[in-house]
Amino acid sequence: MAIETELKLRVDSHEPLRQRLKSIGGTLIRQVVETNCILDRLDSMLQRHGCGLRIRSAVDVEGHSLPTTLTFKGPRRVGDLKSREEFEVEVGDADAMTVVLERLGFHTVLCYQKRRESWRLGDCQVDLDEPACLGLFVEIEGPTGMGIRAVQQDLGLHGAKPISISYVGMLLAYCEANRVSDRVLMLASLA
């Protein structure tokens, strides 16, 4: 069983973090624009149990497609960091996978784009994220809470308040507050 453990923080700008990552030995992995489609049953069974099902496709800055993935996320575990089981598999065709899931009783509840710049620092991955309509965030993911907190300190973010709600939760609230009935949120410069 794979466990995802991460810390999410809201930031005003990515540039100071980018410069800090460069200065302390971070390695740029990739820059992408993701399209994330979240699926659930009509009775919202997954959401009610704190789970998620996602189909993600991504394109890098050179325009190359990355492998499409299907991801299941289990309910959040108790703790100060966001931790949950995560299973991810590559799928050859996002549209075909969506049809298969629809035939199994799922439907798309949200689609959104996100810019993501991923860095490696020690045994952690640091993602500089810009999900549509939400602003700027940094996520630090790693194998241990101690390692994640150390990277938080190294980046000068020790005083930042962790955000426990997922992008999906924030975006669904955004759709509700702004009456976005189709629940499709694209990045402004790409729409």
The answer to whether position 98 is within a domain reads yes
Which whole number is the average pLDDT over 49-57?
A: 97
Please report, for the domain that includes residue 38, its CATH number: 2.40.320.10
Residue 121 has pLDDT above 80, yes or no: yes
**pLDDT at site 1:** 58
The answer to whether position 191 is within a domain reads no
- Nearest by Cα to 135 from 2, 19, 11, 3: 11
Tokens 């999906």 correspond to: 168
Residue 191 has pLDDT above 60, yes or no: no
| 8 Å CB contact between 97 and 23 | no
Range of the domain at 141: 3-185
- How far is it, in rounded angstroms, from Cα 128 to Cα 13? 9
Task: Place 127 in a pLDDT band, splitting at 50, 70 and 90.
Answer: very high
The answer to whether position 28 is within a domain reads yes
| 8 Å CB contact between 109 and 53 | no
This prediction's pTM: 0.94
Output the DSSP codes for 106-166: EEEEEEEEEEEEEEEETTEEEEEEEETTT-EEEEEE-S-HHHHHHHHHHTT-TTSPB--S-
Residue 104 has pLDDT above 60, yes or no: yes
Which whole number is the average pLDDT over 111-123?
A: 98
Share of the chain above pLDDT 90, in %: 92
The answer to whether position 86 is within a domain reads yes
The answer to whether position 190 is within a domain reads no
Residue 190 has pLDDT above 90, yes or no: no
Average pLDDT, the chain: 95
**pLDDT at site 69:** 98
**pLDDT at site 80:** 80
Number of neighbouring beta carbons within 10 Å of residue 139: 20
Tokens 């990552």 correspond to: 21
Which whole number is the average pLDDT over 44-65?
A: 96
pLDDT tens for 66-91 read: 999 999 999 998 888 889 999 999 99
Task: Place 3 in a pLDDT band, splitting at 50, 70 and 90.
Answer: confident
Number of domains in the chain: 1
